[in-house]
Copies of this chain bind each other. A is one copy, B any other.
Amino acid sequence: MPKETAIPAPAAAQPLIVEADFFHQNLPSGVELAVDRLPERNTVALAFRMLSGAADDPMELGGLAAIVERTLSKGTKRHDGRGLADAFDAIGAAWSTTTGRQSTVMRVLCLPEFVPQALELSAEMLTQPTFPDDACRVAVELAQQELKNLEDSPDSLVRVLSQKLTYGDLFGRYVGGEAETLARITPDKVRDHWKRMFTAGRLQISIAGAVDAEAVAALVDRLFNGLGRREPAGRQPADFEFRPARSHRHKDLEQEYIAITLPGASRSDPDFAVEQVALGVLSGGMSGRLFTEVREKLGLVYWVGAWHEQPRGRGIINLGASTTPERSHKTYQTLMRELRRLSEDLTEAEVARARDQHIAHKETEDDLTRARAGNLSDDLFHFSRPIQPQVELDAIRAVDAARVEAYVRKLPRDRVCVATLGKREL
């Protein structure tokens, strides 16, 4: 507790987060478009989210969605791979793509005056890829190498093991595939998968920045018109059954890596904000309990954290740590104790700090145009509409210690998944 309280608390009014000026339409082409109009910003951030990801890979072709994503840029009907990269470079646009379980996302950042060109190039990449044979072969080879890199990266590997355990054999597959499934991926399979999965009805485009939303909508509608089926698709809830389980993978490592998961709140659950605050108390910044109590007071773990993730319509809470093999059992017990303790001895001061921290983080993040586009894209993914930033903040402000305690008491803390990696089983 502070010994002095001369420092004033933040003002109750939060002038920084003003009401957002959203545009949101389902266009005739089938594309869902949302714009967060930010006339004063110097950069524009665009997120193209195709509602198809690794969970849609055929069982025998795990890794296919990621190969599609990585070869999209290797050639189109108008440009070869180098030409496409050069064209983005010529307008100073930075771009990247990623594959998730339920979506494949392309992000672009550019200056406002180049938005039309950035849209045209992105559309070219998403709607007219040619998937050259050589590029597909190289992408598969690199994916095989990535699996070897994963074996050398225990921080990442334990998460992959944990996600398999948590989400099951289908939904929980590693996005990057497996050696055997990658070996089956041919250029034709890549083209077929793109054709089946990249449709206007699965495409959500989110843009933040100084743009004319109506003009952008007209251009988007023209550029993506005719991309496969226009009927909305890919919007069903995540399909997996959570079953408590344990797994240990032996590996001759210096540290032991522990990952615990249990079901939590979905993004649309009224308790989602409560879970956010609870995790803030556990793991928010320097003052989180896991950091102050477990790491800094006990020196028990090298790394420790708690976070959550939300497949569509679902939620999973994660606790993780890395420690010495000798301390792994004690670390596991301590993590579970700290989770339970949230329902026992929580103070209003801790809850207030977690709330304030979350709000401050949101306000600082709000400074980043790309974060605005990312949040908007997440809104479409989870809620099928933009959500005012103020709504999330109001939900956070309404959380008190009693609600957190009640929420944590309800959590199925005796039915968790535990994945460990290292020299010693738990």
Contact = CB atoms under 8 A, between A and B. Distances in A.
Interface of A: 1-4, 7-11, 16, 41-43, 73-74, 78-83, 85-95, 109, 111, 113-114, 117, 121, 134-135, 137-138, 141-142, 145-146, 148-149, 151-155, 252-255, 285-287, 292, 295-299, 301-303, 322-324, 349, 353, 356-357, 359-361, 363-364, 366-369
A7 B149 contact: no
A265 B154 CA distance: 36
Q: Choose among A121, A146, A149 the residue with the greatest number of B CB atoms under 10 Å from its CB.
A: A149
Contact of A85 (B82, B292, B356): B292
Identical copies in the complex: 2
A81 B2 contact: no
Given A79-B4, A151-B254, A324 B145 contact: yes
A90 B142 contact: no
A254 B296 contact: no
B286 A92 contact: no
Nearest to A137: B299
Contacts of A322: 149
A318 to B, nearest CB: 19
B94 A285 contact: yes
A42 B82 contact: no
Contacts of A367: 41-43, 368-369
Contacts of A43: 364, 367
Nearest to A41: B367
A79 B138 contact: no
B89 A356 contact: yes
A80 B255 contact: no
A293 to B, nearest CB: 10
Closest 8 CB pairs of A and B: A92-B360, A145-B302, A141-B299, A148-B254, A138-B299, A85-B287, A2-B83, A151-B254
A148 B79 contact: no
A7 B252 CA distance: 54
A281 to B, nearest CB: 11
A389 to B, nearest CB: 14
Given A7-B117, A111-B360, A152-B254, 9 more contacts: A3-B83, A7-B90, A7-B91, A81-B292, A85-B285, A93-B360, A145-B255, A148-B324, A152-B253
Nearest to A354: B89
Nearest to A298: B138
B297 A146 contact: no
Contacts of A141: 299
Given A152-B154, A152-B254, A10 B117 contact: no
A156 B363 CA distance: 33
22 contacts: A1-B82, A4-B87, A7-B90, A7-B91, A7-B117, A8-B117, A9-B90, A10-B91, A11-B113, A16-B42, A43-B364, A73-B286, A81-B296, A85-B287, A85-B292, A88-B286, A92-B356, A145-B301, A145-B323, A148-B302, A149-B302, A152-B253
